[in-house]
Amino acid sequence: MNEIPRGTLQEQTFYEQVGGEDTFRRLVHRFYEGVAGDPVLRPMYPEEDLGPAEERLTLFLMQYWGGPTTYGERRGHPRLRMRHVPFTVDRAAHDAWLKHMRDALDELALPEEHDRTMWKYLTYAAATMINTPD
């Protein structure tokens, strides 16, 4: 019997399991399509072009889920709460963010287990960004 020695098989990261860079680029692009027309979220992006914000979120999520570490190499530690302090993130912003992220995630049509895993993180992340009481 041809046994593979223990430790030689690498488990795939979540990033790899869901399709890698292409999946995260599609997710975030679809998310920002929703943000572009959202009256609550769009004012949080002073630049006319949402492209730079889209790239930052894409790189962050790719790194978070086990992909390339480009985000950290370019921007350092994510410090998400600190980076969002200049913005009023209340329950309405939280809900709008999750609505667009849910729409984007639905379009990916990931297997249920992967969808559930990603959604659990996204809902947690959205809740931790709230910095203004209702």
Residue range 42-79, pLDDT digits in tens: 998 887 889 999 999 999 999 999 999 998 888 777 66
Q: How many CA atoms lie within 13 A of 117 on its CB side?
A: 12
Report the alpha-carbon distance of residue 30 to residue 99 in Å, rounded: 12
The DSSP result for 50-111, as a single string, is -HHHHHHHHHHHHHHTTS--HHHHHH-S--HHHHHTTS---HHHHHHHHHHHHHHHHHHT--
Q: Write down the pTM of the prediction.
A: 0.86
Query: From first to last of its 134 residues, what are the pLDDT tens digits of the chain?
Result: 455 455 444 689 999 999 999 999 999 999 999 999 999 999 988 878 899 999 999 999 999 999 999 988 887 776 666 666 677 889 999 999 999 999 999 999 999 999 999 999 999 999 998 888 87
| Domains of the chain, CATH where assigned | 16-129 (1.10.490.10)
